[in-house]
Structure formats: structure tokens, C-alpha cells
Amino acid sequence: MSHSAMPTSSGPTDETPALEIRGLGKQFPLGGLFSRESVRALHGVDLSLGRGEIVALVGESGSGKSTLARCVARLERPTTGEILLDGVDVLKRDRFQASRAFRAQVQMVFQDPFGSLNPAHRIEHFLRRSLTIHGKTGGSEKETQRRLEELITTVGLQPDMLNSYPHELSGGQRQRVAIARALAVEPEVILADEPTSMLDVSVRIGVLNLMRKLRDDKGISMLYITHDLASARYLADRIAVMFAGEIVEQGESLDLLANPAHPYTQLLVSAVPDPSRAGSYDPVRRAELRQAVMASTSCALEGDPNQACSSEVSVRHQVGDPENRHWVRCHLYRPWAGAGGHALAGEPALPANDTEMKASA
């Protein structure tokens, strides 16, 4: 792992998260130059990535997932908040000093493996360029060649593919090249923005397995952005649920999916057909739930925060066992007395507790 940009005196410990985001906000100006209108894409986002941890960021289209990743990758400048890499606030650093080193610590893999590779160049070109830009060529041509071959085999491709052009590769192979290009920089954090959503279902699992292997072998931390809860469960240690620019619930993957506490998470979970639970997908039940969610929380779900929600939404409620690091931000949430349960108060159309939720899901 590259630690070149880490502070030396009071350096990070093993407990220092690889990435920590605090109170991140992003407003995009709307309209003309003098317009005061803006879109609130992110609001008060806190999220951390432990070393070698995979966190999935899920949420519907437009909820702010890509904006979050782009702010961390410094492709976008946040309006408020802090982004700490190895405990160092990257936004406060001088733009010229260490800018490249910080960029190297975080690499982004995009959704579209077709768009990210210029068709005029061979695969070798992309990887060699990454090595060169970040000073990782190793000094001699022989060493550079060795590194190129190592990179391409690390992502499960044959060394002779270095001579191929992007159009000669399948979508899955191209996404592996995009991952190899990110790896060339020896990053500590990879932000993968829907890396498999444009791939055939049959090759998706291979790319997910590759990401997991990179975490296991190299200790790389990953933020995995997806719409697909099933793949989040498969890959991620933790899941963060993003809704209208805020993280409304977070927890260890299995616990969060088994005991979703926020009405929006419940809605997402109810939309996943779960083969392990026969007959689990009930469209009528889901429609009822959606209606209940829309009626009961006029918070961000309606785009018009009501008093109760806007005053309490920032309060985190722990859900169940603290070991699961599961919390929710919702003014309707009430821990269920005696059962350590996950109940939503008062709304008759919502499941009264997690047992009923499971039964009805």
C-alpha cells in the first residue's frame, strides 16, 4: 500500500479509517450565472471506510451517490464538510502540495467501461500511462513491462491482452482493464460507481469476485455504489442507504437487510426478490408499503420536510446490538421495548415490528 502522503509524526493507527467523510454537503447552482437557485445533492453526509473494508452505497437514482464519490475523488468540490484520508483532511491541503499524492490514494472506477477507454489505443497504453503519471514505472523498461504483466494478470486477464484494442474486449474484460488502471497507482481506496451495471449478468459476479479478491489480497478499501441490494449483500461488509442526499440508515450488511429500520430501506428491501425466502416478493404488499411510506414520512420522501422530521432527522438511533453498527435517522423510529426490536411507531400500514416485516416481506 502507498503511504507516501501520510503524516509522519502523529501518523494514522490501524484504527484510523482509510477514508472518513464528515458533514459533507454539495449544492449545485441552478439556472444562469446570477440565479440563486440550487440543487441540494448532498446534505450532512457522514461515512467512513475502514482499512480493507467494503461499504456499499445504495439508493435510488438521483439520491447523490455519484456526487459523493466524485467529491471524494476530488472531481467535484463539496460545499461543506471534511474528507479525511488516513486522518488527513484533503480539502484543507494546499491544492498544489500533495495533490497528486492524494489523488493517487483514491481511484475511481466508473460504470461505463466503454466510455472510459479511448478506442485508438492499445490496453498497454492505458496502464503504462497510469504507471508513468504516478511515478510507478519502476525505473527500467524491463521493470515496467513486468509491472504491466502483473497488473493485467492481477485482474484475471492474459498478458497478451496488453496488445489488444478496447473494441476487441468484452464489457467485462474492459471493466477489468479499468480496474487494472486504478490498481496501477497502488491506491488505498477504490470508489466503484456501479461498476457492473452495464455488464452482462453472467460476467457481473466475476467482477465482484475480483473486487473482493483485491480487498483480501491488497487490503484496499472500497466504496461500492449500486442499485442492486443483492450484490451489495454479496460483496459488502456494511451498507449505507442514501436517500435525497442523506444517509438515512447504515449497518452491517446482513443485519441491515434483515432488520431494515427506515421506511425507505424497507421499501428497497421489499423490492428484492429473495430466493432464500420462498414467496418473499409480494408486489401488492410492496405497493402498500410504498403508499404507507409516502403518507407517513413527508420528510425527504416527499421533498417537503415536515417539522417533526426536519428537527429530528439528524438524530441517529442505534438499531439492535451495537456490534452491528446499525443506525437509522428517522423520526418515526422507536426502539421496541423489551425486544431490542426495530419498530416504526404508530403507522398502521407499516409492519409493527421486524418479525412481522420478515413475515410480510
- DSSP class per residue in 41-54: EEEEEEEEE-TT-E
Nearest distance, CB of residue 11 and ligand ATP, angstroms: 33
Tell me if 66 contacts ligand ATP by CB under 6 A: yes
Among 53, 56, 58, 64, binds ligand ATP (CB under 6 A): 64
Binding window for ligand ATP (CB under 6 A); candidates: 4-12, 60-68, 248-256, 339-347:
60-68
| Complex with Mg ion: residue 66 or 221, whichever CB lies closer | 66
- Of 25 and 335, nearer to Mg ion (C-beta) is 25
**Residue 66 touching Mg ion (CB under 5 A):** yes
22-25 long-range contacts (CB < 8 A, ≥24 apart) are 22/46, 22/81, 22/82, 22/83, 22/84, 23/80, 23/81, 23/82, 24/68, 24/71, 24/78, 24/80, 24/81, 24/82, 24/83, 25/78, 25/79, 25/80, 25/81
Q: At what angle do helices 201-218 and 171-183 cross, to 10 degrees?
A: 20
Dihedral sign for Cα 125, 196, 156, 216, please: positive
Q: Among 58-66, 205-213, 326-334, 345-353, which window interacts with ligand ATP (CB under 6 A)?
A: 58-66
Identified binder of ligand ATP from the candidate list 7, 11, 23, 62, rule CB under 6 A: 62
Quote the CA–CA distance of 261 and 172 in Å, as a whole number.
35
**Closer of 26 and 331 to ligand ATP (Cβ):** 26
Q: Taking CB under 6 A as the rule, which mask of x and - marks residues 67-106 in contact with ligand ATP?
A: x---------------------------------------
How are strands ordered across the β-sheet holding 19-29? 38-49, 19-29, 80-85, 88-89
Binders in 299-358 for Mg ion, by CB under 5 A? none
Does 266 engage in binding with ligand ATP (CB under 6 A)?
no
- Give the footprint of ligand ATP on this chain (CB under 6 A): 28, 39, 41, 59, 61-67
